[in-house]
Amino acid sequence: MTNDHAFTAQDLKGTHLEPTFAGALSFMRRKYSRDLAGVDVAVSGFPMDTAVTNRPGARFGPRAIRAASTNNAWNRPYGAAFEPFDRLSVVDYGDCQWDHGRPETIPAAIEAHADKILASGAALLSLGGDHFISYPLLKAHAKRHGPLSLIHFDAHSDTWDDSQGAGRVDHGTMFYHAAKEGLVDPRRSVQVGLRTHNDDHLGFNVLDAFWVHENGSAKTAAEIRRIVGDHGAYLTFDIDCLDPSFAPGTGTPVPGGLSSAQAIAIFKGLAGIRFVGMDVVEVAPAYDVSEITALAAAHLAHEWLALFAVGRQSRG
């Protein structure tokens, strides 16, 4: 019996058992590696929180998500017919690096980091970090896949007008730029769980938190599938989509959000969508309680890997 599979694993597939309370931390106990040969999904952290407008601390999100993921690493997502790691070769690629003293260089560093991973043919599962990271990540994905459907879970639209702020680094305007630059197609994109006002959604379809509560998870998932169709989709999950009772450890919490159970049920209803990538962002562990926010993020990332495996299998 061996442990510390983050370093000792010989096979990139399969589930390795070791104590949840000990051992080297990687996402879901996957092997740390910068070798992308034969890799289906690379997991990478983007520890940035300089774009926040309220409480900082999401730079520690990737570390917290990795630690919380040990709770799930021993078993497949409940209700899944298979363990995604039996079908996917997944590595923890470590974190993106940049010069913190030159913040203006960070967006390009994130994009270049993603470019390198995607050029190998691997998909990218990104751990934030604040939500700004989605913008350079979308740039990299759109270069490879063309304009994308954005499936965006959040309390906020992040499409506020930034027409006078070229080059600004702000976690509330990324999807304004993504839409204006053609990185995403708003008509085939959907924002889920919103509960803050924005008078201009730039053509994005919106299923706000009240719509989800009234119509339920199954209908929400069906509507997302209808909007996206067979278009390539990128999923971004701001953890503040969840109600603060389920995700207190975040920078901009808003009451009235989704429960963890609702979010998981919606994810399970998205099987068959042609996903190309995902990020989960805005976990700020300094404000967390018993790691419940980081645990929710880790669980949703695991659920997405199962969705990615299903979609990959259906495409042959």
Closest CA to 150 of 209, 235, 222: 235
Residue 207 C-beta-side C-alpha neighbours within 13 Å: 25
Give the DSSP H or E segment for 289.
none
Annotated binding residue at 154? yes
240 is in an annotated binding site: yes
In the sheet that holds 90-95, the strands lie side by side as 31-32, 90-95, 41-46, 123-128, 275-281, 233-238, 149-153, 190-192, 205-207
Whether residue 238 is annotated as binding a ligand: the answer is yes
Q: Respond yes or no on whether the N-terminal peptide bond of residue 277 is cis (omega within 30° of 0).
A: no
> How far are the Cα atoms of 24, 26, 124, 148, 298 from residue 7, in angstroms, in the given order?
8, 9, 20, 35, 20
Instruction: Check residue 147 and report its DSSP letter.
Output: S
Backbone angles phi, psi at 209, to 5 degrees: -60, -35
Cα 166 off chain centre by: 25
The string of DSSP letters for 178-220 reads: HHHTTSB-GGG-EEES--S--S--TT-EEE-HHHHHHH-HHHH
Using CA atoms, how far apart are residues 232 and 147, in angstroms rounded to an integer? 8
Compute how many other C-beta atoms are within 10 angstroms of the C-beta atom of residue 13. 16
Q: Is 156 annotated as a binding residue?
A: yes
The Cα 149–Cα 309 span in angstroms is: 19
With H, G, I as helix, E, B as strand and everything else as coil, classify residue 226: helix
Taking the CB of residue 109, how many other CB atoms lie within 10 A of it?
17
Annotated ligand binding at 115? The verdict is: no
Is 158 one of the annotated binding-site residues? Answer: yes
Q: Which residues are annotated as a binding site for Mn(2+)?
A: 131, 154, 156, 158, 238, 240
Binding residues: 131, 154, 156, 158, 238, 240
